[in-house]
């Protein structure tokens, strides 16, 4: 059942029964080359792209424009991949080397190659602290903000309709334990720079999926919690965001996290796509192969994980070539990591025909009699790290239901709320009140809803109080 579902959904496949009929009908009547073409088209599951397509996903790679004249490189690219990401050619320093002067020659070469060969394009990256042209590095304040909006608008407009997904903002959060934004000239223009970039990108190219992309966010940690809080807030406030990219650059110091799949899933549960955007895993042999298989299986187990891109083709093409982190060796031969990746793709879960609901419906607890007269109750759960936390508060209506509610949380001295979602917060320190927003105020008797907030400092202890209206 599931394999026929996968076959039915795919685009470039021929059913085995039809394939046999087609081949026998054509043998002897057409040139051998034609038969070969049919056989190749029918061999679903023998390349990364076809195997991923069987599971409703794409399989991509970073591409460098100056390698498009290398026949080994292009041979592998065209055979194995159906998504490309320009490795450097769409970055700010490449596309706008002087302010207001846009150069698209190298990026256009990659896009043309992709289009001519039936591949999609991930755009990378519109707004980023790194690889900025010198003139932008020297700007600040409103001049930089306007330059950024103009850059996003111009580049997204140039490629309008040609981009599957844009990395609108790349790497905006700091490493380390406090879940803070990364300091950069863009961040110093104001905390809203990210949503401003997303809104500009949506206006310029409404059909591209808009992604936030980062590294060290592959497992649950302070940094990914902060991204999670931002994305939740964007969804609650209607800031246009469609996907989160997980770069997934791994090595022995930063291996595939044990909660990789769970982390992808919790982002997907926010109601957006997740993508593995820059996968490479330093190492060799079986250990490397197993890590690749783990990543592929995790993506296939998350229905909204829509595709995987590796960050280059051969080890020698890699930005960290000495770690031999890719699927093909320097001669273009398939490595053990390639075989493990292909096998994992071929044995993985297809996207279910009816995907599970993106936000679980509010659950009705068993009929424990709510305390008489209580309008609502609230309970709090925490994810903590040194210096900060994310709190999830569950509000449950009493016997009369609610038209609206407010939960009050008392914070320890020195603790502050930095962000809240699915609720309107008043105040940031001391006693903080969180009131319902338009869509979650009305609860029937016993029904629950959840909101969340992020904070710095010591997490709150105790049960929040709740009042209903
Ligand atoms: C890297 C490229 O691979 C290199 O060629 C370049 O010198 C530096 O950037 N995260 C990203 C990518 O989002 O853009 C980076 O690409 C790798 C890390």
Atom of ligand 1 nearest to the CA of 215: 10
Specify whether the CB–CB gap between 270 and 230 falls below 8 A.
Answer: no
Residue 462's Cβ-side half-sphere holds a number of Cα atoms within 13 Å equal to 11
Structure tokens at 259: 């909660």
Please give the Cα distance from 301 to 294 (Å, whole number).
Answer: 11
Please give the Cα distance from 414 to 264 (Å, whole number).
Answer: 32
User: Does the CB atom of residue 61 touch ligand 1 within 6 A?
Assistant: no
Ligand 1 site-directed mutation target among 184, 319, 321, most atoms within 8 Å of CB: 319
Strands (DSSP E) contained in 10-79 are 58-63
Instruction: List residues bridging with 309 in a β-sheet.
Output: 60
Please give the Cα distance from 225 to 386 (Å, whole number).
Answer: 13
Q: Which long-range contacts (CB under 8 A, 24 or more apart) does 439-443 make?
A: 441/402, 441/403, 441/404, 441/405, 442/401, 442/402, 442/403, 442/404, 443/362, 443/376, 443/395, 443/396, 443/397, 443/401, 443/402, 443/405
118 Cα–ligand 1 center, Å: 25
Catalytic residue among 80, 87, 96, 171: 171
pLDDT digits (tens, 9 = 90+) for 166-205: 999 999 999 988 999 999 999 999 999 999 999 999 999 9
Q: How far is CA 355 from the centre of its chain?
A: 18
Catalytic residue list contains 87: no
User: Does the CB atom of residue 88 touch ligand 1 within 6 A?
Assistant: yes
**pLDDT value of position 362:** 52
Please give the Cα distance from 469 to 465 (Å, whole number).
Answer: 14
- Residues in the chain, total: 469
Instruction: List residues bridging with 124 in a β-sheet.
Output: 167
Token pair 């950024």 is at which residue?
148
Strands (DSSP E) contained in 290-427 are 305-310, 376-385, 388-397, 405-410, 416-421, 424-426
Query: Do strands 416-421 and 405-410 pair parallel, antiparallel, or not at all (unpaired)?
Result: unpaired
Specify whether the CB–CB gap between 149 and 200 falls below 8 A.
Answer: yes
**pLDDT value of position 391:** 84
Catalytic residue list contains 89: no
pLDDT digits (tens, 9 = 90+) for 233-243: 999 999 999 99
DSSP secondary structure code for residue 99 in this structure: T
Query: ∠ CA(107), CA(330), CA(289), 5° rounding?
Result: 100
Structure tokens at 203: 């206006």
Ligand 1 site-directed mutation target among 245, 250, 278, 314, most atoms within 8 Å of CB: 278
Specify whether the CB–CB gap between 350 and 360 falls below 8 A.
Answer: no
99 Cα–ligand 1 center, Å: 22
Could you give the 3-state DSSP secondary structure of residue 3? helix
Specify whether the CB–CB gap between 325 and 283 falls below 8 A.
Answer: yes
What parts of the chain have a pLDDT lower than 50? Answer: 1-43, 352-358, 367-372
Atom of ligand 1 nearest to the CA of 64: 5
47 Cα–ligand 1 center, Å: 26
Backbone angles phi, psi at 74, to 5 degrees: -70, -35
**pLDDT value of position 452:** 79
Specify whether the CB–CB gap between 115 and 162 falls below 8 A.
Answer: yes
Residue minimizing CA distance to atom 5 of ligand 1 = 319
Ligand 1 site-directed mutation target among 85, 86, 88, 279, most atoms within 8 Å of CB: 88
Specify whether the CB–CB gap between 423 and 399 falls below 8 A.
Answer: no
414 Cα–ligand 1 center, Å: 39
Structure tokens at 50: 């076809």
**pLDDT value of position 288:** 98
User: Does the CB atom of residue 319 touch ligand 1 within 6 A?
Assistant: yes
Residue minimizing CA distance to atom 3 of ligand 1 = 319
Structure tokens at 93: 């320093």
């Amino acid at each position: 059942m599931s394999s026929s579902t996968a076959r039915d959904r795919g685009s470039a496949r021929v059913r085995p029964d039809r394939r046999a009929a087609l081949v026998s009908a054509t043998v002897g009547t057409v040139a051998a080359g034609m038969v070969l073409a049919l056989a190749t088209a029918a061999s679903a599951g023998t390349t990364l792209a076809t195997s991923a397509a069987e599971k409703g996903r794409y399989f991509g790679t970073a591409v460098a424009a100056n390698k498009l004249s290398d026949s080994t490189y292009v041979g592998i690219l065209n055979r194995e991949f159906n998504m490309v990401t320009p490795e450097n050619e769409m970055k700010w320093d490449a596309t706008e080397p002087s302010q207001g002067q846009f150069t698209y020659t190298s990026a256009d070469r990659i896009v043309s190659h992709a289009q001519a060969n039936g591949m999609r394009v991930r755009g990378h990256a519109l707004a980023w602290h790194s690889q900025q042209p010198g003139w932008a590095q020297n700007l600040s304040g409103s001049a930089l903000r306007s330059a950024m909006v103009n850059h996003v608008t111009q580049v997204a407009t140039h490629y309008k309709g040609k981009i599957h997904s844009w990395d609108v903002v790349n790497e905006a959060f700091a490493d380390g334990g406090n879940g803070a934004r990364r300091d950069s000239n863009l961040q110093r223009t104001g905390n809203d720079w990210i949503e401003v970039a997303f809104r500009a990108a949506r206006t310029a190219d409404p059909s591209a999926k808009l992604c936030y992309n980062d590294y060290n966010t592959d497992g649950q940690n302070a940094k990914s919690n902060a991204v999670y809080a931002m994305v939740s807030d964007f969804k609650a406030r209607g800031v246009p965001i469609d996907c989160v990219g997980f770069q997934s650059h791994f090595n022995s110091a930063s291996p595939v996290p044990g909660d990789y799949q769970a982390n992808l899933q919790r982002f997907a549960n926010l109601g957006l796509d997740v993508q593995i955007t820059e996968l490479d895993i330093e190492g060799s042999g079986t250990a490397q192969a197993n890590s690749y298989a783990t990543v592929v299986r995790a993506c296939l187990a998350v229905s909204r994980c829509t595709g995987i891109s590796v960050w280059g083709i051969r080890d020698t093409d890699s930005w960290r070539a000495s770690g031999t982190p890719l699927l093909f060796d320097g001669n273009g031969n398939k490595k053990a990591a390639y075989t493990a990746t292909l096998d994992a793709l071929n044995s993985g879960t297809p996207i279910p025909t009816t995907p599970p609901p993106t936000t679980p419906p509010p659950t009705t607890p068993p009929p424990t009699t709510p305390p008489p007269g209580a309008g609502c109750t609230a309970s709090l759960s925490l994810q903590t790290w040194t210096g900060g936390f994310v709190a999830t508060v569950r509000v449950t209506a009493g016997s009369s239901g609610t038209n609206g509610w407010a939960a009050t949380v008392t914070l320890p001295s020195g603790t502050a709320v930095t962000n809240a979602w699915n609720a309107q917060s008043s105040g940031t320190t001391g006693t903080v009140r969180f009131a319902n927003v338009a869509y979650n105020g009305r609860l029937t008797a016993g029904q629950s809803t959840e909101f969340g907030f992020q904070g710095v400092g010591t997490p709150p202890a105790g049960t929040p109080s709740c009042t209903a209206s």
